[in-house]
Structure 1
Amino acid sequence: MAMPVSKPSLAQRWENYQPSKSTLVWACAATAVVTMIVGFSWGGWVTGGTSRTLAATAGDVARGELASVVCVERFKAATDSPAKLTELNAITDSYKRRQFVEAGGWATMPGQTAPDRRAAEGCAAALAA
């Protein structure tokens, strides 16, 4: 009587597996591609160009916020600030408020010849609040 041939277990098959070089190369390439897709899609990775754009935008926003604070302080330091604040609050259009702040000179930063638009917008919004 012949003995039945037993099928090797999964652990035994795994232990005996010998992948070819081409299989290893393709597995590594596929792993690298999947890693990049996951990293750029969900991992928060960005390219150098995107990083520079984001940094420049953040710098512009921060500069505008700082200029707004300087503008508000310059507005409050003026001798006629209560009357000017009443005049500013009477204006309902945000564009005209920005123009009022620019015309008053409070949004022109030291060393500049023209008013900063972001500073004027932020200043007008802060003063109106």
Structure 2
Amino acid sequence: MSMGEKWSAYRPSKAVWLWSCVGAAVLTMIVGFSWGGWVTGGTATKQAETAGEQAAAQLAANICVHRFLAAPDASAQLAELKKEDTWKRDTFVEKGGWVTFAKMEKPVDGAAELCAQQLASAELPAATTADAASETTVN
């Protein structure tokens, strides 16, 4: 009997079918969780919470930057911020109150650090700098 004839004549038993299905299911789960990006419900919940916290911090940091740069003494404050050590800049922003919003007792976690990073690389617009220079000459 040739190999092809043996293959077409083969009839697996119920036990072989069962264990083949179980093996295929286990292999599918291993591949899915290892390389397919599958996660458990608990992991998905943690990832969603982390993403929400990061989004809130980013939004608060963007508002903080806007408030900081819109302040009348923005150029002086920005110069002071840039003089601070890198690891102290978030404290400077927190103490300035730019990251604490109405009806909040404390700032959003991580927002002060993000705000300080954005401000450290920010430059004031030329119009604002010119306005500040004209105010000092008028006074």
The alignment's TM-score, normalised by the length of structure 1, stands at 0.88
* Cross-structure match for 1:5: none
* Cross-structure match for 2:111: 119
1:92 shift after superposition: 1.7
**C-alpha separation in 1, matches of 2:107 and 2:12:** 69
Which amino acid is the alignment partner of residue 71 of structure 2? A
Matched, 1:103 2:85: no
* Cross-structure match for 1:13: 6
Matches within 5 A, 1:1-129: 8-94=1-87, 96-129=88-121
Aligned length: 121
RMSD across aligned positions (CA): 1.1
**Do 2:56 and 2:108's aligned partners in 1 also have CA atoms closer than 8 Å?**
no
1:122 shift after superposition: 0.7
**C-alpha separation in 1, matches of 2:102 and 2:49:** 22
**C-alpha separation in 2, matches of 1:110 and 1:85:** 23
> Where in structure 1 are there 5+ consecutive unaligned residues?
1-7
SS at match of 2:37: coil
Greater gyration radius: 1
1:110 shift after superposition: 3.2
Decide which moves more: 61-70 or 102-111: 102-111
**C-alpha separation in 1, matches of 2:25 and 2:82:** 59
**C-alpha separation in 1, matches of 2:65 and 2:49:** 24
**C-alpha separation in 2, matches of 1:55 and 1:122:** 20
Which amino acid is the alignment partner of residue 124 of structure 1? A
1:34 shift after superposition: 0.9
